[in-house]
Structure 1
Amino acid sequence: MKKKNSYKSFILKMSAGAIIGMVLGGTGMYFIERASDWKEIGTITLHISGIEQLILPGMAVVLALSVIAEEWICHCLKKNCNALLKADDEECDRLEYEEEKYGAWLTGVNVLSQVLCILILAFGYSLDYIGSGGSTSITFLWACILFLSCFFYDGIMQVRYVKLVQKVHPEKKGDPSSSKFQKEWLASCDEAEKEIVFQSAYKAYMCMNKVIPLLLLLTLILNLFFNTGILAIIVVAGMYLVMTVAYSKACVQIRKEKIFR
């Protein structure tokens, strides 16, 4: 009975999704066909007039905000770590939670900084003016320098964060610049820390298992209505495939190691 209910629930959800998709698709086509002011609805161009002039100030703002935010979080983390070295057993749990929280904030801001830099550069760069040799190409060159500077700073901040944690927890091993850092770091964690890592990784996998299909559907719809190209669809589909295969392979490998070790 439970199995039949599962099939029934799945069919109902798929039917509801199909109906919603048809409604949204029909509504979109209705407005598109009547949008007489859109001269080229089949092509979306993000290179609007003068947008290249916004790359340099935008990149400068992102770099400045990244430095301010990450330095402030790093200062709070360092202060917390110094207190953790002198804390008694009663305070350790609270301070370790604060350490984890500041570390999560620092990592989040670090990645957000890199994503914003990529988006700003991607929304404005074009071969039409990069090779023109005029003032616009010089501006773009300076924007690229700021782009690289931001990524360099974010990379250094990641190393500083790891070194700071290793100062408080000398049992943590691994060189941040090494390609085997994650494996060495995980091997140096105790069982409780490994459990947190594994649960967090599984929750992240479950989250992406829901987000990526939605992104894939979104790219399909955008390509249907606005001819955005098939590359985005291929990239998202490739990510979905790699994630699923990697997870399944890891499950089989871990099961094999437990049985035949």
Structure 2
Amino acid sequence: MNSNRVKEIKKEDKKAFKSFIIIMIISAIAGGILGGMSIYFKDSLSENLTDFIMNILEAITPFASLVLSLLVIITSCIVYKKLTKELKIWNESDEEDMIDKIEEKLSYILLLSSVNLIMGFFFFGVGFALPSDYLDINLDIVKILSFFGGFILCVASSILIQKKFVNLEKEINPMLKGSVYDTKFSEKWIDSCDEAIKMGIYKSSYKAYRAVTNTCLILWLVCVLGYNVWDFGIMPLFIVTTIWLVQTVAYCLESIKNLKKR
């Protein structure tokens, strides 16, 4: 290796090391403070906070998916109708700026639909996870219908919304292939993308990888504190660690596979 390059690498490491040491010291101090405060939290806040959260979930869980799904459906219908009109105008004028704005709105609706689906699964799980004294839907037919009907509406509407907006994207970009109903939709979609779109997907994927890594680190800290404060037990820490390991190992193995293909 070139000696100048070696010196450059050492200089870069030396410069970064100072910031690294400062971050480690601050993290150690913050960790000590949080560890000490966890005793206070356990004695004064843990029960009150748990009751507060449970009371909120008791009130909103039976109706949350239904309300959220209806809001997403209404928003999607309004935006879809508007986008079809804009797409017709674009076909006649062929303005580049207009199509970029249309695709941006498409992306936001797909994001909204995906978030609604995730929240639907969350509230469905909460409905079964909460103790019966917190969420007693067995005695209320309205809550039962709203709870299960909201979840079904959430899943069905998410699929249909994604189908509509993905098909609209396919009208804009004829080279794109794949049906939302296909189990291999993601693979077919990426294979049909041009290099510019693929590069955008790859950059987004790496950003998502970094976001999940940082989130896992934060959740790990919450689980460690929660072990003492809220008696979480070891399972939440095990789940967070599993997710962290799976996404890290999957990313690294895929990188190795791509290196072999070069």
| Interval containing the TM-score (normalised by the shorter chain) | 0.7 to 0.9
**Given that residues 63 and 146 in structure 2 are in contact (C-alpha distance below 8 angstroms), is that contact kept between their aligned partners in structure 1?**
no
Aligned to 1:14: 24
Unaligned runs of 5+ residues in structure 2 are 1-10
2:5 matched to which residue of 1?
none
Query: What residue identity is the alignment partner of 1:107?
Result: L
Q: Is the 8 A contact 2:66 2:150 kept in 1?
A: yes
Structure 1 residues 7 and 195: alpha-carbon distance in aligned structure 2, compared to 1, 3 A threshold: same
Q: Name the structure 2 match of 1:100.
A: 103
CA contact (8 A) 2:224 2:237 kept: yes
State the partner residue of 1:72: 78
Within the alignment, does 1:224 sit opposite 2:228 as a pair? yes
Q: Is the 2:220–2:241 contact (alpha carbons within 8 Å) kept by the matching residues of 1?
A: yes
Of residues 219-228 and 120-129 in structure 1, the stretch that sits farther from structure 2 once superposed is: 120-129
Task: Spell out, residue by residue over 1:137-163, the C-alpha distance to the aligned partner (whole angstroms, 9 max, x if none).
Answer: 773354112211111111111111111
- Please say if 1:113 is aligned against 2:116: yes
Give the match for residue 7 of structure 2: none
Higher share of residues assigned helix = 2
Shift of the alpha carbon at 1:243?
0.9
8 Å CA contact retained: 2:66, 2:153? no
Range that drifts further, 205-214 or 134-143:
134-143
1:172 aligns with 176
Instruction: Tell me which residue corresponds to 2:4.
Output: none
Give the letter aligned to residue 144 of structure 1.
Answer: F
State the 1:87 CA deviation.
2.6
Following superposition, the deviation at residue 54 of structure 1 comes to: 4.0
Q: Using a 3 Å threshold, how does the CA distance of structure 1 residues 168 and 31 change in structure 2: closer, same or farther?
A: closer
User: What is the match of residue 143 of structure 1?
Assistant: 147
**1:45, distance to aligned residue in structure 2 (A):** 6.1
Please say which of residues 112-121 and 67-76 is displaced more in the overlay: 112-121
State how far apart, in whole Å, the 1-side matches of 2:57 and 2:13 are. 56
User: Which amino acid letter does the alignment assign opposite residue 169 of structure 2?
Assistant: V
Paired residues, number:
251
Is residue 68–residue 116 contact of structure 2 (8 Å, CA) maintained in 1? yes
Cα distance in 2 for residues equivalent to 1:133 and 1:244:
40
Distance 1:31 1:160, change over 3 A: closer
1:156 maps to which of 151, 160, 164: 160
Task: Give the alignment's Cα RMSD to 1 decimal.
Answer: 3.0
Contact preservation (8 Å) 1:175, 1:181 = yes
| Change over 3 Å in CA distance of 1:233–1:76 after alignment to 2 | farther
Instruction: Extract unaligned runs of 5+ from structure 1.
Output: none
Structure 2 equivalent of residue 189 of structure 1: 193
Percent of matched pairs sharing the same residue: 24
Shift of 1:181: 1.4
C-alpha separation between the residues in 1 aligned to 2:59 and 2:212?
Answer: 35
Q: Distance in 2 between matches of 1:127 and 1:226?
A: 16
